[in-house]
């Protein structure tokens, strides 16, 4: 008998898969190619790659396409794939200071050494729907823009590529910005070991780097509004390309590729370490670094890195933030509520009914008239089990 029920269930599964595939393909337009997504959904893919902690634009595009643009699903697909990859090397520490800069700004200073480089951003454009983009469905439209663009660059003298020192160094030299010393500096790999509390700085920053961008936005914003950390300032925000170098078995450095990353150095107040002595006021860095151009994430990371420091409250806040911005965990568990729970709810139902029954009995003994059953319902919150 079970055989037939199981096959019925499997048939349903197949039908569901087929139906989803139908919804993905039912449109009459040409399916968008993975290439097109890589070319035209840069920021979306950056966000997905960051949350998946897998820097692979083509795979991210495939994932995005496969699940019809559901970013959470795309992240799960990439995380599952990533988890099967063998770790052959650890990269050397990435030299972010010598990043090939695409964008670099500071809000703490009007002018910074090397200048403010705005780079690609929509921060300063008016948020008006642009009808021309809706019409831009031909290759000609694209070519027209690009031709014009290249023509303007021809003959123009471009400044040579150069590296910039960090804006924070100014404050460090001045002694106003203190290094973060109160931390365990060992390196944890949170994809190979679970996150344990108290979490050290490397585990914290890794968790933040792969956290859900929206979640970080929420906690970062809450911090500015008095829940948690303080209002930080963007000392420096950089977007650019960095080289990834590994050291092979013979000790040779090998360049294996480059990543686009966003780095935010926030400045915040230094937490008091207790003690009675009055200490000189100082600032401390809040650091954020994530894949792609994802300034929301990098800035919130920086704010939270700073806000989650300090002995007791910092660690407490850390558990709240790090556990609940874990994209795959959070979304997965929320969706699990759709699974059947009838065996467990049967057990709970019996408990409630028995409690109701006992209450009725008690009323009868005390000579109180029984009230109508619906008023007698025992609150679910009286039931200690959460599961």
Partner 1 sequence: MAGEMQTFKKFQCNYNFAFIDEATKKEVRRSILKAVCIPGYQVPYSSPEMPIARGWGTGGLHVTLSLVGRDDTLKIIDQGSDASVNACNLRDFVAMTTGCETTYDTAQATLIQSRHRIPEEARRSDQIIVLQVPQPEVLRRVERYERKTREMHAEADYAKLWVVLYEAYVRTGDVVGRAVRVNDRYIMTPSPIPRWDIPQLDIARNLHLFGAGREKRIYAVPPLTPVAPLEFEDIKFRMEDFFETVCASSKHTEAFMDEIYENDAEQAKWVINDSNFLDKILDGCRPPQRRHEYWGQAI
Total interface residues for partner 1 by CB under 8 A: 68
Between 60 and 99, how does the x/- string for binding to partner 1 read (CB under 8 A)? --x-------------xx-xxxxxx-x-------------
Q: Minimum distance between the CB of residue 347 and partner 1, rounded to whole angstroms? A: 4
Identify the residue whose tokens are 């109508």: 372
The nearer residue to partner 1, 111 or 193, going by C-beta atoms, is 193
Using CA atoms, how far apart are residues 324 and 73, in angstroms rounded to an integer? 17
The nearer residue to partner 1, 115 or 357, going by C-beta atoms, is 357
Show contacts with partner 1 in window 162-191 (CB under 8 A).
191
* CA-to-CA separations, 315 to 196, 200, 304, 309, 336, in angstroms, rounded: 11, 10, 11, 7, 28
The reply to whether 196 sits near partner 1 by the rule CB under 8 A is: yes
Q: Minimum distance between the CB of residue 83 and partner 1, rounded to whole angstroms? A: 4
The reply to whether 366 sits near partner 1 by the rule CB under 8 A is: no
The nearer residue to partner 1, 86 or 154, going by C-beta atoms, is 86
The nearer residue to partner 1, 23 or 333, going by C-beta atoms, is 333
The reply to whether 350 sits near partner 1 by the rule CB under 8 A is: yes
Applying CB under 8 A, among 15, 18, 23, 35 the residue interacting with partner 1 is 35
Q: Minimum distance between the CB of residue 313 and partner 1, rounded to whole angstroms? A: 11
The nearer residue to partner 1, 273 or 346, going by C-beta atoms, is 346
Q: Minimum distance between the CB of residue 20 and partner 1, rounded to whole angstroms? A: 14
Are 233 and 108 contacting, i.e. CB atoms less than 8 angstroms apart? yes
Applying CB under 8 A, among 32, 195, 217, 222 the residue interacting with partner 1 is 195
Q: Minimum distance between the CB of residue 323 and partner 1, rounded to whole angstroms? A: 8
SS3 letters for the chain?
CHHHHHHHHHHHHHHHHHHHHHHHHCCCCCCCCHHHHHHHCHHHHHHHHHHHCCCCHHHHHHHHHHCCCCHHHHHHHHHHHHHCCCCCCCECCCCCCCCEEEEEECCCCCCCCCCCECCCCCCCCCCCCCHHHHHCCCHHHHHHHHHHHHHHHCCCCCCCCCCCCCCHHHHHHHCCEECCCCCCCCCCCCCCCCCCCCCCHHHHHHHHHCCCHHHHHHHHHHHHCCCCCCCCEEEEEEEEEEEEEEECCCCCEEEEEEEEEEEEEEEEECCCCCCCCCCCCCEEEEEEEEECCCHHHHHHHHHHHHHCCCCHHHHHHHHHHHHHCCHHHHHHHHHHCCCCCHHHHHHHHHHHHHHHHHHHHHHHHHCCCCCCHHHHCCCHHHCCCCC
The nearer residue to partner 1, 230 or 355, going by C-beta atoms, is 355
Q: In what order do the strands lie in the sheet with 283-291?
A: 100-105, 233-247, 253-269, 283-291, 177-178
Q: Minimum distance between the CB of residue 197 and partner 1, rounded to whole angstroms? A: 4
The nearer residue to partner 1, 142 or 335, going by C-beta atoms, is 335
The nearer residue to partner 1, 86 or 148, going by C-beta atoms, is 86
The nearer residue to partner 1, 5 or 25, going by C-beta atoms, is 5
**Segment contacting partner 1 (CB under 8 A): 23-31, 110-118, 245-253, 354-362?**
354-362
Nearest in space to 74 (alpha carbons), one of 87, 85, 65: 65
Applying CB under 8 A, among 20, 33, 36, 163 the residue interacting with partner 1 is 33
The reply to whether 355 sits near partner 1 by the rule CB under 8 A is: yes
Applying CB under 8 A, among 98, 116, 313, 315 the residue interacting with partner 1 is 315
Q: Minimum distance between the CB of residue 103 and partner 1, rounded to whole angstroms? A: 29
Show contacts with partner 1 in window 2-31 (CB under 8 A).
2-3, 5-6, 8-10, 12-13
Which residues contact partner 1 (rule: CB under 8 A)? 1-3, 5-6, 8-10, 12-13, 33-35, 58-59, 62, 76-77, 79-84, 86, 191-198, 315-316, 319, 323, 328-329, 331-336, 339-344, 346-347, 349-351, 354-355, 358-359, 362, 378, 382-387
């Amino acid at each position: 008998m079970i055989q037939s029920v199981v096959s019925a269930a499997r048939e349903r599964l197949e039908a569901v898969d087929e139906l989803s595939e139908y919804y993905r393909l039912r449109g009459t337009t040409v399916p968008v190619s993975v290439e097109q997504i890589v070319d035209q959904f840069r920021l979306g893919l950056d966000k997905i790659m960051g949350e998946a902690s897998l820097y692979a634009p083509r795979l991210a595009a495939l994932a995005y396409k496969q699940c019809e643009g559901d970013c959470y699903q795309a992240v799960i697909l990439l995380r599952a794939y990533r988890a099967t990859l063998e770790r052959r090397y650890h990269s050397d520490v990435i030299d972010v200071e010598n990043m090939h800069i695409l964008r670099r700004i500071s809000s703490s200073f009007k002018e910074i050494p090397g200048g403010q480089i705005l780079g690609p951003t929509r921060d300063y454009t008016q948020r008006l729907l642009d009808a021309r983009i809706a019409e831009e469905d031909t290759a000609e439209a694209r070519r027209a823009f690009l031709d014009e663009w290249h023509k303007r660059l021809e003959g123009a003298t471009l400044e040579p590529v150069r590296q910039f020192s960090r804006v924070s160094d100014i404050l460090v030299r001045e002694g106003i910005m203190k290094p973060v010393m109160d931390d365990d500096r060992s390196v944890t790999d949170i994809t190979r070991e679970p996150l344990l509390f108290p979490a050290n700085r490397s585990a914290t920053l890794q968790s933040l780097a792969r956290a859900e961008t929206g979640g970080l936005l929420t906690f970062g914003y809450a911090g500015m509004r008095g829940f948690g950390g303080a209002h930080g300032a963007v000392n420096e925000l950089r977007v650019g390309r960095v080289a990834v170098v590994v050291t092979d078995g013979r000790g040779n450095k090998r360049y294996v590729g480059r990543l686009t990353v966003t780095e935010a150095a926030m400045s915040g107040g230094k937490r008091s370490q207790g003690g009675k002595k009055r200490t000189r006021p100082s600032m401390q860095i809040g650091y954020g670094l994530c894949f792609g151009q994802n300034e929301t994430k990098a800035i919130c990371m920086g704010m939270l890195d700073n806000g989650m420091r300090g002995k007791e409250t910092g660690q407490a806040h850390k558990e709240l933030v790090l556990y609940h911005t874990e994209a795959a965990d959070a979304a997965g568990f929320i969706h699990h509520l759709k699974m059947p729970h009838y065996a467990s709810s049967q057990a709970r139902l019996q408990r409630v009914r028995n409690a109701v029954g006992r209450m009725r009995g008690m009323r009868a003994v005390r000579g109180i008239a029984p009230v109508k059953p619906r008023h007698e319902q025992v609150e679910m919150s009286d039931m200690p089990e959460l599961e």
